Structure 1
Amino acid sequence: MKRPQWLLLILLTLLLLGGGGAFVYLQWLGPAGAANRTSQQGDNELPILDVESGSKPNSLPGQQLDVGQRANNGSGRSNGEPDKTETSTDAGTDSTKATDTPDSDSDTNKNPKPEENVSPDVDPAKTGRQPVAQIGGTGRVGERWSLCLDMNTNGSLAATFGPDHVTLWSPDSDEPLWSEPCEAGFRPPGEFSPDDAHLVCATGEGHVALRKVADGELVWEYEHATRAAGACFQPDGQHLFVAFNDGDVVELDATDGTLTRKLAHLDDTPECLTYEPLQKLLVVCAENAVFTIDFSGTVKLVCDEEGLTGKIQLSTDGRNFFFTTIEGVLQLRRLSDGTVLKEFNPGPGEDQRVIPPVGAGEGRLLLRVQNEVGMSLQLWDSAAFKATATYEAGFIVGLGASPDGRRAVTSDMTRNVRFWSLEDGKIAPLDNERVTPIYAEWMPDGRRILVGDQSGRVAILDADTLIEGEGFQAAKKSVDGMLLSPQGDKLLVIDSAREPTLWDLATRESVSLGKKAATEMMQFSPDGSKLYLAVDEKLVAFNTVDGSIDSVLYDDWNVSGFRVSPDGTRILLIGKDARIFPLPVSGEGELVVEKIGDFGYPEFSPDGSVLAVGTSGFLYLWDVGRGEISRSFEGSAYLLKFNHVGDELIAANYNGEAHRVKVDGTLHEKLGGTPELPASISWSPDGQRLLITGYDHTVKIWNLTD
């Protein structure tokens, strides 16, 4: 197997979330554009964004924070860009020194620093303006990108491994039982011992450790020249096998971590390994092949076909194994020679698998993820080779199951760690009653806040007391996207199955708008009469009165983002490049946005005169009338939101930093205590308050008047 495509997809997404130098040029096509570009290069300033670290209705806990709490809320994780800021601070503002525009290959991909608590007496100009209130904060929130998970025998405990910690969880608590640093990357090996008393895990470059399940205490650590790729115990728990990236496969004494023997060396890079007890074989999944190794150290090639790497799942008799091809085809293969015995082809609407399946019930059951990055969790009967149950579970990135087949554990894009029951051949969440807010919007009257949560409910809270006055069930599953019309009468809700529904808030009547909606590509027209939505692989303008299709704006599906100008005359499409077209899209008179690197999602000012574009390295403010960049700020910015006047905007990134920026070029201030992985931003109508929601299941509120 080549380096697995699912890993490449994840790493590409991580670049989007975390950084990677990029900047853009925007210009008109033709001679006028050349003149504009020359003018802008002479006049542009480049200020620097400061990147210094700094249940049911009643189950949405809102709390007012006192001054001490605000100061101790932390300044969030520092982003991946280098801190080049030179600041002189007054009471509440930051001033920055303008610098020249850096080259596109500048280093903007340093690792973020760990979150640090802020002392109450630290200068607020450096820590940033702190939130005054918080909604939510409950839920079992793990690390970003916990891809490797394992469960003990009866599913009463689960461990998440990496990227920075090994953490032990229980379905009875939202808080981890313990968490210890591992710094082992995005898919480190990890496994419970047969007696459930210990965990083996990678702890860094070339290190493998054994920890006690009871308290996380380190028992021993073994060091090798390269990173560990896979580890598994023998059934008696006295020895374990470890495969390393240099191809070495070794046997260790589980009691003290000493090297018993070097079992074999592979001329390939191992990705994971599994022990087959009946034939006493190690099954190794490598980059380009699947191998078996017997106790004498004899290596046998089983198959050399490309596939998705993950822990190899064996049949109950140990004679066969399950294999997922790069194309997402699930196969049952003979372990002795790799012959394909059965296979399951994804349906026409099902995209390539990026999460390898896991076994449960000693090989009797198989758990797999269906549709894209994990829309549905499927339980399979291994012998019958067919699905017996399906549950829409959100965007899963990690999957594990208990050996007795009674429980499963998942981690998702929102960092949520969830436990599942597999009893009686069904999939059911063990923590079904948990309510965790994901999206929030300020109502136009400024007195109420809409909050959508993972139960599919939308609560309407008093903006001052944060007490719910009313609410309604807006989706069958989690609210994964939400957008309020400017008039506050219509609400678009997209659930975890990506099904969009348009709600009339006065009548509580709704209409379905199709399937496969993109939560990051939705926009109302200023008068609220139209809803622009990416749905069913088209960009569609819906009539908000009855939900009918007004027009199809674009159906050549190769775009990753769009924005319609407030006057409804132009549309910005982001694909392999990015262009602004007149509406309807005709291909004439378009504005090219020359793409160098990655884009965040752009945002027009309310009057359409300014277009803000964020990237992993810079925030650009573009003068639409002149067709040129008016301001550029160094710093990662992906989530953007103008206030209702259009003279200020909030620029946030996925490392948890946010800045309040004035369009005239003044960097007003940094916001402290922002949610990690911000999901949405909403200004109060008077511009005096702000809320930011996060995938850590919190809604933070700031007072901007003092």
Structure 2
Amino acid sequence: MSQLPANPTPEETASPMQSKTPTAKHKFEGHKNNIQSFVFLHDNAHVVSGSLDGTMRKWDCETGRLIGEPWKGNGGYILALALSPDGKTIACGREDGSVQRWDTDGKMIKTIWTGHSDWVRSLSWSPSGGHIASGSDDGTILIREAESGKVEVGPIKTNQDWVLSLAYSPLGDRIASCGNNKTICIWDSNTGKLLVGPIEDLGNSGTSVVWSLDGSKLYSASDKFARVFDSGSGTLLHRFQHDNSLYSVALSPKHNVLACVGFGGVVQLWDTESHKPLGQSFPQDGRKELYCVSFSPDGQYLAYGGYDNKITLWMVQDIALQLTVHAPMSKIQDVTQEETQPEPPSSSFPNGDEIMEEDRNNPYDNFFASSQSSLTPAPCDPSRKRRLQNIFSNLSVLRPPVNHAPSVFMRPQTATKASAPQKKEELEEEKNVVRMLTYLQ
């Protein structure tokens, strides 16, 4: 493995000072327990969140209000959500090891899939929408046919302890997983064969993994670093350093922007080309742990959630004030369900953090354009027609918890499950212990 390039010092990478404290657009409040996962719908106007309170809720990004009643179902904690590439179905991973499916209006599909013997913490749809991969605390990955639920690949025995994050590659031929044993693995999605890894030296449990848009890189969260790996060899390419441990990372669907959130409620954006921070990091109110982060499909919004039981929604331009908008915002039209096989990136693309746009003028092309920023919008190439949602639903929706967080993610290492009251009591004790250990670090 090649030696890691030296990280620039904070003085070398500091962005221009923000002139004022940024203000969130909305805070979606109502859940009674931690929020583990959420998804932006393809209309760029709604968010669906899942919580340890066992409910899902749909929110309006413009008004900040809850739409309808909370979605309730059996199965205990909701630990993972994933939106289908066609934007019509949300897969839901539960505490009892089941996978449920819901439509975007809150109606649950009757058939519930079983097969895992422990919590389902991670989910990912294939880019074509034909398959769903699930990762569990039982250490396995199951790949199911999306309509019938038939297991076609697996169980893949990962040897990763808990499978905390899953992500299909943009071409759908590979699946990346990261786990409680501080490793990342890349699997053949058709056979379950290990292709790359285990990639080690993460410093702590791998809690979040996403692919670059051309599939050449993997971005991950584990300890105080967001790491970038070559997806073909597993070679470490770069580390983005933070003051606190990270839980989740997300890539912007429009430009070379990486968002990182984690312990202490700190949020930081990075330019993935220059490796410089965009704006200053800023803490969430109360500095509560943040477990999940995602951009909206149009790149206009950034949202995150976690230990404070709410989703905080931002306009991206308000977080990094040096970025300016040169065109009025409007909603992107829904894509058709027809799909074309993604092509390998052309040599005109200098890195894997840019996307080939649809063959039409897009009001968001200059969203991040600024003379003060090194961000480069993705060039428009009419000959390449990638469906944005088919890619980004697999890059942004999987934001699982970290096992070393001061929360319910720490679990008794026992062969049999405790009763609900016993489990909650034990988890509360572990939460206090981990808080103290983290403080002593």
TM-score band, normalised by the shorter chain?
0.5 to 0.7
Query: Displacement of 1:228 after TM fit?
Result: 1.6
The AA in structure 2 aligned to 1:373 is G
1:410 alignment counterpart = 304
* Residues 1:203 and 1:369: Cα distance change in structure 2 (over 3 Å): closer
Greater percentage in helix = 2
SS of 1:373 mapped into structure 2 = helix
Query: Any conservation in 2 of the 1:273–1:285 contact (CA below 8 Å)?
Result: yes
Residue in structure 1 matching 2:59, options 157, 169, 188: 169
RMSD (Å) for aligned C-alpha atoms: 3.1
Instruction: State yes or no: 1:388 paired with 2:283.
Output: no
Q: Which has the larger radius of gyration?
A: 1
Matches within 5 A, 1:246-645: 246-262=138-154, 264-269=156-161, 270-278=163-171, 280-288=173-181, 289-294=183-188, 295-300=190-195, 301-305=197-201, 306-326=203-223, 328-346=224-242, 350=243, 352-361=244-253, 364-369=256-261, 372-375=263-266, 377-390=267-280, 391-394=282-285, 395-396=287-288, 397-398=290-291, 399-411=293-305, 413-423=307-317, 426=320
Greater percentage in strand = 1
Query: Displacement of 1:189 after TM fit?
Result: 1.7
Residue in structure 1 matching 2:45, options 156, 172, 178: 156
Q: Percent identity?
A: 15
Query: Displacement of 1:308 after TM fit?
Result: 4.2
For 1:161 and 1:261, locate their aligned partners in 2 and report how far apart those are by CA, in whole Å: 27
For 1:241 and 1:247, locate their aligned partners in 2 and report how far apart those are by CA, in whole Å: 13
* Residues 1:263 and 1:365: Cα distance change in structure 2 (over 3 Å): farther
1:223 alignment counterpart = 114
Instruction: State yes or no: 1:207 paired with 2:114.
Output: no
Query: Displacement of 1:314 after TM fit?
Result: 1.8
TM-score normalized by the length of structure 2: 0.58
Residue in structure 1 matching 2:130, options 226, 233, 238: 238
* Residues 1:233 and 1:207: Cα distance change in structure 2 (over 3 Å): same
The AA in structure 1 aligned to 2:125 is F
SS of 1:224 mapped into structure 2 = coil
- In the alignment, structure 1 segments of 5+ residues that lack a partner are 1-137, 429-615, 618-635, 637-706
TM-score normalized by the length of structure 1: 0.37
1:599 alignment counterpart = none
* Residues 1:254 and 1:341: Cα distance change in structure 2 (over 3 Å): same
* Residues 1:139 and 1:206: Cα distance change in structure 2 (over 3 Å): closer
2:434 alignment counterpart = none
For 1:182 and 1:383, locate their aligned partners in 2 and report how far apart those are by CA, in whole Å: 43
For 2:312 and 2:184, locate their aligned partners in 1 and report how far apart those are by CA, in whole Å: 31
The AA in structure 2 aligned to 1:194 is P
The AA in structure 1 aligned to 2:278 is T
Matches within 5 A, 1:675-690: none
SS of 1:235 mapped into structure 2 = coil
For 2:174 and 2:28, locate their aligned partners in 1 and report how far apart those are by CA, in whole Å: 41
* Residues 1:285 and 1:363: Cα distance change in structure 2 (over 3 Å): farther
SS of 1:312 mapped into structure 2 = strand
The size of the alignment, in residue pairs, is 287
- In the alignment, structure 2 segments of 5+ residues that lack a partner are 1-26, 324-423, 429-441
Query: Any conservation in 2 of the 1:290–1:302 contact (CA below 8 Å)?
Result: yes
Farther off after superposition, 272-281 or 303-312: 303-312
The AA in structure 1 aligned to 2:100 is A
The AA in structure 2 aligned to 1:145 is N
* Residues 1:320 and 1:219: Cα distance change in structure 2 (over 3 Å): same
CA shift digits 1:391-420 (9 cap, x unpaired): 553235232322432212223544332222
The AA in structure 2 aligned to 1:309 is G
* Residues 1:416 and 1:345: Cα distance change in structure 2 (over 3 Å): closer
SS of 1:149 mapped into structure 2 = strand
* Residues 1:311 and 1:331: Cα distance change in structure 2 (over 3 Å): closer
Query: Displacement of 1:213 after TM fit?
Result: 0.6
2:88 alignment counterpart = 197
